């Protein structure tokens, strides 16, 4: 099938959004049965299902857009670590509960502004996915920001661990708001959005929550990047090896 350059661009963009959600969904799947209480295992399950659900919708759309006969599962399970285009934040390992919530909080605040903007996309299918995802992101943010505050303003130990989580993940928070030529073009057509314009709102939310949590905004100016072009941290390879094991070991079968 003859696909236009715009279709390929769209597929590439959709894959970034899909990979973000796939990777954080996978990390949350790892965390099930490790949460601090039964009710939190339920909450983690809910988060994981929401992210994997969005990833599935986006992979399906990306597969259609690129028109190479690949399925959503092919995109998730058979692309290599150099092909995966998620941002570095989501591939960071779980660690303790404070770290899981720090990662979730930073990502939820980003997803909320991102899906909010994409809900107005001129691409109705993407807009539809975004509208639903925005509702979920809003709920997720209530949950994760709630925990950042509880742990930041809880006990001395929880405060220290929460600060550690914030500090450790801060250097992955600029990348989601970077845009390249591809995204800029799609944004000009009002299909994608200019993520760099969303950073201020994200910061407002983050500052408000960190303040309420009595946490310090990290000062290290260093920011890591490269996920969108497949230059990941060393964590992603291990994660994909586990995730893709069945499809790689038993190629071409039905499950």
Partner 1 sequence: MKDHAGEARFEATIDADDKVEPRDWMPDGYRKTLIRQIAQHAHSEVIGMQPEANWITRAPTLIRKAILIAKVQDEAGHGLYLYSAAETLGTSRNELVRLLHTGKQKYSSIFNYPTLTWADIGVIGWLVDGAAIVNQIALQRTSYGPYARAMVKICKEESFHARQGYSILLALSRGSQEQRAMLQDAVNRWWWPSLMMFGPHDGESTHTEQSMAWKIKRVTNDELRQMYVNQTVPQGHYLGVTFPDPELTFDEATNHWVIGEIDWEEFWAVIRGDGRMNRERVGHKVRVWDENEWVREAATAHAAKEEARLAASA
Partner 2 sequence: MSYEVPLAPGEQVADIERTSDDHGWPLWEVFVRPKRGLNHTHAGSLHAPDAEAAIQNARDGYTRRAEGVSIWVIPSKEIHASDDAAAMFDPFTDKPYRHPTFYEIPDEVGQL
Positions that interact with partner 2 (CB under 8 A):
37-39, 42-43, 45-46, 142-143, 146, 150
**Residue numbers 39-98 binding partner 1 by CB under 8 A:** 39, 41-42, 45-46, 48-49, 52-53, 55-56, 59, 72-73, 76-77, 96-98
End-to-end CA distance of the chain: 28
157, exposed or middle or buried, with CB in 10 Å at 0-12, 13-18, 19+? exposed
Q: Is 150 in the site for partner 1 (CB under 8 A)?
A: yes
Smaller CB separation from partner 1, 2 or 249: 249
Closest approach of partner 1 to the CB of residue 171, in Å: 25
CA distance 242 to 1: 33
Q: Out of partner 1, partner 2, none, which partner does residue 200 contact, by CB within 5 to 8 A per kind?
A: none
CA distance 234 to 45: 26
Closest approach of partner 1 to the CB of residue 42, in Å: 5
| Contacts with partner 1, residue ranges (CB under 8 A) | 26, 29-30, 32-39, 41-42, 45-46, 48-49, 52-53, 55-56, 59, 72-73, 76-77, 96-98, 149-151, 153-155, 157-158, 161, 242-243, 245-247, 250, 253-255
């Amino acid at each position: 099938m003859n696909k236009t350059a715009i279709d390929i661009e769209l597929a590439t963009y959709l894959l970034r959004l899909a990979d973000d959600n796939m990777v954080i969904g996978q990390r949350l799947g790892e965390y099930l049965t490790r949460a601090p209480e039964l009710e939190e295992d339920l909450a983690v399950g809910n988060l994981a299902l929401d992210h994997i659900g969005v990833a599935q919708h986006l992979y399906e759309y990306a597969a259609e857009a690129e028109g190479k006969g690949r399925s959503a599962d092919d995109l998730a399970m058979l692309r290599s670590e150099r092909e995966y285009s998620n941002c570095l934040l989501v591939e960071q390992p779980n660690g303790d509960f404070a770290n899981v919530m720090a990662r979730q909080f930073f990502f939820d605040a980003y997803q909320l502004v991102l899906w909010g903007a994409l809900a107005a996309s001129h691409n109705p299918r993407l807009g539809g996915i975004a509208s639903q995802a925005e509702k979920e992101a809003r709920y997720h943010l209530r949950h994760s920001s709630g925990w950042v505050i509880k742990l930041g303003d809880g006990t001395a130990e929880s405060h220290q661990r929460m600060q550690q989580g914030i500090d450790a993940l801060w250097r992955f928070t600029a990348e989601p708001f970077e845009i390249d030529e591809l995204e800029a073009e799609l944004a000009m057509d009002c299909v994608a959005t200019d993520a760099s314009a969303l950073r201020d709102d994200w910061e407002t939310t983050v500052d408000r929550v960190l303040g309420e949590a009595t946490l310090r905004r990290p000062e290290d100016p260093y920011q890591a990047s490269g996920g969108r072009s497949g230059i990941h941290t060393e964590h992603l390879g291990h994660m994909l090896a586990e995730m893709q094991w069945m499809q790689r070991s038993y190629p071409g079968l039905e499950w």
